[in-house]
Structure 1
C-alpha cells in the first residue's frame, strides 16, 4: 500500500479478494476524499468488513490496486482493549509515543472519558469502552478513520450518544471516515455519501445533501430511507410493524 498524500484518502481500483473458490470482493472501485464521511451498507456477507480490513492493512491477499493514507485509525464493533492495560495506556498502545500520558488525556477528553483514564477496561460500561476505542483511533492523528459497526453492540440510547459523538469529532477534525453499518438511519444521519454493497461490488451510491445536525423523520430523510431499503431488498411491508 502506498502513501496517499493528496486530496484522496482512499483510492481502490479493480480490487478482488477471494477465499478459496469464493469471491468476496469482485473488481471493486472506490474513492474517498479527505474530509468526506462515507457510510457502507449491505447484507451480511457482501464484503463490507473484508473491504474495511483491507483498507486497514489487515488483509493483504488481494488483487488490484489499493492506495490508502498510512495515517489511519480503526475502531471495531468490539472495543478490543487490552485488559492488562489501564485505559490511557490502551489509548496510546501501538503509537510511537506509547507512554505519552498527555496525548492520551487529550483524546480521552475529546470523547468525554478523561475521568476514566486510570480505570481498567473491565470496569468500563459498553459505551465507555467504545469511546476508549475511538480515543485510541484518534490518538494516531488519522487522515482516515475506519469504523466497522462500532455501535452495533450498544443499547439504543448509548448508540445515539455515540453517533452524536462521532459526528462531532468529524466536524472538528474533518478526516475521511468510512463507516460500515447495517443501520440505514445511522448512515443517513452521519454520512455525506452512502454506498450499498452487493455481491462484492458497490451496487448503488447515494449523496446525502442535508444540513447538519440532522434528524430523522422529515420528508427528504424518509424518501432516501425508502430508496436505501429498496436497494437492500427490503420493502415497505417488511418494515411495517
Structure 2
C-alpha cells in the first residue's frame, strides 16, 4: 500500500449475511484530493464511507486512513438539548473550550448562532453546524455522506460553494458521497462510480475552478457519467430548465 496516500484501501470486503455489499474494492485518495463517489442506492457508497470513518469494523481487507478524520452526514444529527456550540464539540476528547467551537462556527458563517438551540436553525444552518462539528476536529480526511441532499436548490448551491472554499483553505482530503452528477463535477478533482461493490469507473475532472455548467467540457463529462450510471443525459438548453442561478437536477434515481 502507498504510505503517502491519505486513503489506501486494498481488497476490502464487507458482507451482510451472504451478501457482499463491498467486494474486493480498491481505492486510493491522495492528500488534499477532493474525490466524489457516485452510484445507485444500495451499491455500497455509504457503507464504504462508514468503514473509512471507523464506524464499521466488520470487514476483510486492508484500510489505511488518517488518524484525524471527520464525517458529516445528510442528517445534521444535532442534539436538541444542547446549544449549537456544545453540539460542535460533541465527541471531542478532553474538555475542549467554547472558543474552539466558535472558531469553527465562524468558519462556516454561523458564529452568530452559537448560543441558539438546534430547533431554531434552518436546514442550511443545521447542516453548517454539522460541518463545523467536523471541521473542529482539524481533519486530514473529511468524509461527506450526501450532506446537501435534504436542502432546497438555492441553499444547496450555497452549501456546495462553502465546502469548496473550506477545502481550498484547509487542504484536507475529501470524499463526497453523492447521487448528484453535477454536484460531483462542480466540486471534485476526480469522480468515481461504484457498481457491484467495487469502483467500476473513474474520471479526472480537469476543469478550471470555479466551474461553469455551460462549459461544453463540463457537459461532456456529465453525459459520460450519466451514461455510465444508466441515465440518458441530454445536452443543450432543454437539459437545464431551471430557475436562473440554479443548476439542473442530475441526481441518480434510486
Asked if the contact 1:92–1:98 (Cα under 8 Å) also holds between the matched residues in 2, the reply is no
Question: Partner of 1:205 in structure 2?
Answer: 202
Instruction: List per-residue Cα deviations over 1:140-199 (Å, max 9, x = no partner).
Output: 000000000000000000000000000000010010000000000000000000000001
Query: Residues 189, 98 of structure 1: CA spacing in aligned structure 2 closer, same or farther, 3 A cutoff?
Result: farther
Tell me the CA shift for residue 236 of structure 1: 3.5
Q: Is it true that 1:11 corresponds to 2:8 in the alignment?
A: yes
Instruction: List per-residue Cα deviations over 1:13-36 (Å, max 9, x = no partner).
Output: 000110001110000000111100
Residue in structure 1 matching 2:59, options 35, 40, 62: 62
Q: Is it true that 1:84 corresponds to 2:81 in the alignment?
A: yes
TM-score, normalisation: structure 2: 0.90
Residue in structure 2 matching 1:100, options 93, 97, 100: 97
SS at match of 2:126: helix
Taking the aligned partners of 1:95 and 1:210, their CA distance within structure 2 comes to 37
SS at match of 1:142: coil
Q: Is it true that 1:147 corresponds to 2:144 in the alignment?
A: yes
Q: Tell me which moved more, 34-43 or 211-220.
A: 211-220
Taking the aligned partners of 1:11 and 1:71, their CA distance within structure 2 comes to 15
TM-score, normalisation: structure 1: 0.95
After TM superposition, the runs of 4+ consecutive aligned structure 1 residues lying more than 3 A away are none
Residue pairs, 1:134-173, within 5 angstroms: 134-173=131-170
Question: Partner of 1:126 in structure 2?
Answer: 123
Tell me the CA shift for residue 100 of structure 1: 1.0
Asked if the contact 1:196–1:205 (Cα under 8 Å) also holds between the matched residues in 2, the reply is yes
Q: Is it true that 1:193 corresponds to 2:190 in the alignment?
A: yes
Tell me the CA shift for residue 7 of structure 1: 3.2
Question: Partner of 1:180 in structure 2?
Answer: 177
Tell me the CA shift for residue 99 of structure 1: 3.9
Instruction: List per-residue Cα deviations over 1:61-113 (Å, max 9, x = no partner).
Output: 11100111110010000000111110001111111254411111101000000
Question: Partner of 2:38 in structure 1?
Answer: 41
Provide the alpha-carbon RMSD of the alignment. 1.6
Taking the aligned partners of 1:35 and 1:157, their CA distance within structure 2 comes to 27
Unaligned segments of structure 1, at least 5 residues? none
